[in-house]
Amino acid sequence: MLRQAIFTKTRSKLTSLRQELDAREIQLMQTFIQEGPVALRAKLGVDSDVVWLQIFDRMIFQKGVVKHCVLQFLPFFKHLVNEHGPLMLRTVFQIESAKYDSVFEHIFDFVAVAHNSLYEHVYQNRHDYAQLIRKGEAKNLRTKLCVEAKRYDGLWQELLEVLMRATCEELYSESTFERGLQAFSLIMNQVRPQRSLRSFAKMWEFSTEKGK
């Protein structure tokens, strides 16, 4: 009896909320677009996760609220991808579940690919990604950047070129610095034969600290 009463109450609440959604559709969509799903849920006063999920899915799949949100605030979402990567789009819209893949792919193609925010993100963070590559920690990088599908092969190739150049630059810079330090050590040893490599290292540390 208790279970039936809870079910009846939930269904009644859902019916009431659907009627409210129909009557205030534009206003509620604007709340979702401008303030996000958490604010909309609070405004509707929905405590039940089951009820909220049905409302949320209706807004996402039937009303296309995510697309409208992205179109209205495109500069914000471009900046979001630039700073945090494309997976942040899933987080802010609460569409991490696989059932929202098609919704995510739609806004990913528009924000990250068509408007170059993914390329800019990789370029701006290329040295951080290069470090991951050198450490052997970049096996899932293509998935992290959301370009694992075959149709993104061309884009992935462009991103790899950016990362390859960044990795090579770091390797070249390190080797150049080491060779320069060795050459400088030889010069110092020739000028001051009494100075050992150990004392030179101390001098280098002192001059570095002094220059800070």
Q: Where are the domains of the chain?
A: 1-69
Give the Å distances, CA to CA, from 131 to 81, 118, 136, 139, 166: 20, 19, 9, 13, 9
Single out the residue of 71, 70, 81, 64 nearest to residue 25, CA to CA: 64
Report the alpha-carbon distance of residue 185 to residue 183 in Å, rounded: 5
Each residue of 22-50: pLDDT tens digit? 667 778 888 888 888 999 889 888 888 98
Biggest alpha carbon distance in the chain? 96
Token pair for 116: 């170059």
Token pair for 212: 């800070």
Give the Å distances, CA to CA, from 142 to 88, 109, 118, 122, 153: 15, 15, 12, 11, 10
Q: Model pTM?
A: 0.71
Q: Which residues of the chain carry a pLDDT beneath 50?
A: 2, 5-7, 180, 183-184, 186-212
Single out the residue of 142, 147, 118 nearest to residue 132, CA to CA: 142
Each residue of 125-145: pLDDT tens digit? 999 998 888 888 888 999 999
Nearest-5° angle of CA 29, CA 33, CA 38?
A: 90
